[in-house]
Chains A and B, each alone.
Chain A
Amino acid sequence: MRIKHHPILDFPEKQKIAFYFQNKKVYGYEGDTIASALHALGVKELSLSVPLQRPRGFYCAIGNCSSCKMIVDGVPNVKTCVTPLKEGMNIRVQTDKGFLYD
C-alpha cells in the first residue's frame, strides 16, 4: 500500500517504528500519522459508532471531522489523522464515547 516510486514526488526510505494495535505489535514509519500507518497496514476500521456500533474510518484526514478518533495510550477521542506516530504507542479501536480509562 506504500508508494515507492512516483513521477513527481520522492518518498525516501524512512526509519521503521514499532507500535501496538489492539495489543498486537505492528510497524509504521517515521513521518506517519497513526491513521496513515494503520491504513498502510490495511486497517480501515478505527472506531465503532455509538450507539449503533457501525464501523468508522477516517474521512477528511486533516483533523476536521473527528471520524478517526481512537484510544491512544489510554487517552480516548484522539484525532489519529493528525497525531504523529511514535515508537511504542498503544492504539486501540474506540467503541464508546470515551472515558478516562485506567
Chain B
Amino acid sequence: MLNTRGVPNLEMVKKCFPDEQQLVKMKAIVECYEEIPCNPCSTVCPTNAIVIGDDINSIPKVYFDKCIGCGLCVVACPGLAIMMSKIEGEKVRFRIPYEFLPLPKPKDIWNAINREGEVIGTASIEKVITSPKQDKTVVLEVLVDYSLFYQFITVRCPDE
C-alpha cells in the first residue's frame, strides 16, 4: 500500500499513536514509516521525547511520557509527517502543518480529509498559528469528531 499508492494502512497508522489514555495532553504523532537519512525531529525536541540515534536513517521512536506537546517537531519535519493530537471527550484536537493558500480563519468549518485525500467529515478551525520561527509552515489547530480519530490527516477548503 505504502510503496504502491503512498498511503499507509490502518494498522501502520495506529502504531504511531499512544494509548488513548495518554492523549489527555497534546502528543506528537510521528508518521515516519521509511528509513531515510533525516533527523531534525529528534534534534529539535527539547525533552528527547523523539529518539533517532547515531544512524540518522533509523525510524524515530517517540517516548510519549516525555512529550510535552510543544509542537517544534511538527514544524521541523521536512516531510510534514508529524501532527499533534489530544482527545477531548467526543472530539479530538489536532495540530497539523499546513503550507497552502488560502489559509482558513478561526471559526471556519472546513472539510476533514483522510490520507487518501477523501472528505470524511468536517473540521472546525480553532487556531491559525504562524510565527517567523516556523519559516512559513503554518500550524492549524482543528477540532474533529472522535469517530474520525485515526482517519483524519488534514483539512481542505470546502469551496475547492
Interface residues in chain A, defined as those with a beta carbon under 8 Å from any beta carbon in chain B: 5-8
Contact = CB atoms under 8 A, between A and B. Distances in A.
9 contacts: A5-B101, A6-B101, A7-B99, A7-B100, A7-B101, A7-B136, A7-B138, A8-B99, A8-B136
Q: Is the interface of B mostly helix, strand, loop or mixed?
A: loop
A6 to B, nearest CB: 7
Interface in B112-160: 136, 138
Interface of B: 99-101, 136, 138
A7 B100 CA distance: 5
Interchain residue pairs A-B with the least CB separation, the first 3: A8-B136, A7-B101, A7-B99
B135 to A, nearest CB: 9
Nearest to A8: B136
Contacts of B138: 7
Contacts of A5: 101
- Of listed A5, A7, A8, residue having the most chain B CB within 10 A: A7
